[in-house]
Amino acid sequence: MSLDHRLSSEHEELRRTVEEFAQKAVAPKIGEFYERHEFPYEIVRQMGEMGLFGLPFPEEYGGMGGDYLALCLALEELARVDSSVAITLEAAVSLGAMPIFRFGTEEQKREWLPRLCSGEIMGAFGLTEPDFGSDAGGTRTTAVRDAKTGEWVINGTKSFITNSGTDITGLVTVTAVTGRKDDGAPLISSFIVPSGTPGFTVAAPYSKVGWNASDTRELSFSDVRVPEANLVGEEGRGYAQFLRILDEGRIAISALATGLAQGCVDESVAYANSRHAFGKPIGANQAIQFKLADMEMRAHTARVAWRDAASRLILGEPFKKQAALAKLYSSEIAVTNAREATQIHGGYGFMNEYPVARMWRDSKILEIGEGTSEVQRMLVARELGVG
């Protein structure tokens, strides 16, 4: 039994490569995109060339042959610099491409995964609706089979969908009610809806508090017709499929949140050593030192939590509780670290030209997206056998 928790040489090489890319290619430019609320196509193109969109997928589908740990390492390093870029990768891979890889037919995989893995196109995940978020079982979007053509006709609305309206968005996988069980509960199925399908309308981007260089929109479906072959997995199994996708995605969000928390440490240490007050660096003050020590402790613990969950996933072991714990803890300490980093920076922390201001604005959504903190506590309690 090995107690060595360090990364393999391959994983460490990937981590360093993405760290260098984030520092050299993302950090100098992303602030301008963020202020303009503009999607960073050139940065995303470079990420595609590096193979980041294909990290956890087999080479036979155009992927890099890596694993979920590799994806999460990349997300953490990107989020140390900027969360808009990190969430673009996270949503494209774990939410956009993963449903097709996990549950799609061989034909669907051959058709879509090579382009998704290369970054030529991105996929989106259409689950949340205006009236239903955490209670995704309350889906109102419907899909009815046309008895004459065999096509599925989709009607409904989806909200807060990441990567759904970019110039390179190729598809959205949508959940819809396709029938009812004997007790009246909905049978939910999922469908691939290619961009540009008649009746599929993408709204203008939301005006958001954070993640301003990422793409988030509302989608509407008005008699949208897709062929029977676009059904993902078994009819009526869409809800169960997406629960699995969300369990995995929580590990990815945890890695992203850890990266933000660590980025707050990085920026604050540099500032504490360079900013002088009363004739000495502010880092010489024990009050600042203790803040920084606590921030590093939180980031380190969050990293241990998400890597534990990722390891269990890779080994095929149960990981639902560990994913919920990691997501809950890392998202909440990301908010705490962002607040403390802003305080350390003083007035400059309130200026958008400083990365910590961006991190402060980006942190809050981590306690909401892909399962709120309250939902994570519910999941953990359920895994403990209560409730």
Q: What is the pLDDT of residues 257-279, one digit of tens each?
A: 999 999 999 999 999 999 999 99
Mean pLDDT, residues 193-219 taken together: 98
Statement to judge: residues 223 and 269 lie in one domain: no
Statement to judge: residues 188 and 108 lie in one domain: no
pLDDT > 90 in the chain, percent: 93
190 found inside a domain: yes
Tens digits of per-residue pLDDT, 214-234? 999 999 999 999 999 999 999
Q: Tell how strand 122-126 and strand 169-180 pair up.
A: parallel
CB 217 within 8 A of CB 200: no
Statement to judge: residues 211 and 97 lie in one domain: no
* Residues with catalytic roles: 370
Mean pLDDT, residues 21-46 taken together: 97
Alpha-carbon gap, residue 10 to 24, rounded angstroms? 21
User: Which of residues 240 and 86 earns the better pLDDT score?
Assistant: 86
Mean pLDDT, residues 354-362 taken together: 97
Statement to judge: residues 321 and 281 lie in one domain: yes
Q: Which pLDDT band, with edges at 50, 70 and 90, does 177 fall under?
A: very high
Statement to judge: residues 193 and 255 lie in one domain: no
- HSE-up of 79 (CA within 13 Å, CB side)? 34
For the chain, the straight-line distance linking the first and the last C-alpha, in angstroms and rounded, comes to 36
Alpha-carbon gap, residue 386 to 305, rounded angstroms? 22
Q: Which pLDDT band, with edges at 50, 70 and 90, does 246 fall under?
A: very high
2 found inside a domain: no
- Among 101, 122, 143, the domain-final residue is 122
- Among 87, 122, 157, the domain-final residue is 122
pLDDT at 131: 85
Tens digits of per-residue pLDDT, 119-129? 999 999 999 99
Q: Which pLDDT band, with edges at 50, 70 and 90, does 183 fall under?
A: confident
Q: Which pLDDT band, with edges at 50, 70 and 90, does 19 fall under?
A: very high
- Among 203, 235, 267, the domain-final residue is 235
Statement to judge: residues 246 and 379 lie in one domain: yes
Q: What's the domain range around 155? A: 123-235
Per the listing, tokens 């990301």 go with: 334
Mean confidence (pLDDT) of the chain: 96
Statement to judge: residues 109 and 229 lie in one domain: no
Mean pLDDT, residues 74-92 taken together: 98
Statement to judge: residues 246 and 377 lie in one domain: yes
Mean pLDDT, residues 352-361 taken together: 96
160 found inside a domain: yes
Statement to judge: residues 268 and 288 lie in one domain: yes
Statement to judge: residues 116 and 153 lie in one domain: no
pLDDT > 70 in the chain, percent: 98
Mean pLDDT, residues 85-111 taken together: 97
**pLDDT surpassing 70 at residue 134:** no
Among 163, 173, 209, 208, residue whose Cα is nearest residue 193: 173
**Residue 43: CATH number of its domain:** 1.10.540.10
**pLDDT surpassing 70 at residue 238:** yes
**Residue 346: CATH number of its domain:** 1.20.140.10
1 found inside a domain: no
- Tally of structural domains, the chain: 3
Name the token pair of 363: 């942190």
User: Which of residues 231 and 182 earns the better pLDDT score?
Assistant: 231
Statement to judge: residues 13 and 104 lie in one domain: yes
pLDDT at 239: 86
pLDDT at 1: 43
**pLDDT surpassing 70 at residue 25:** yes
Among 117, 67, 72, 70, residue whose Cα is nearest residue 92: 117
pLDDT at 47: 98
Q: Which pLDDT band, with edges at 50, 70 and 90, does 137 fall under?
A: low
Among 252, 188, 205, 219, residue whose Cα is nearest residue 124: 219
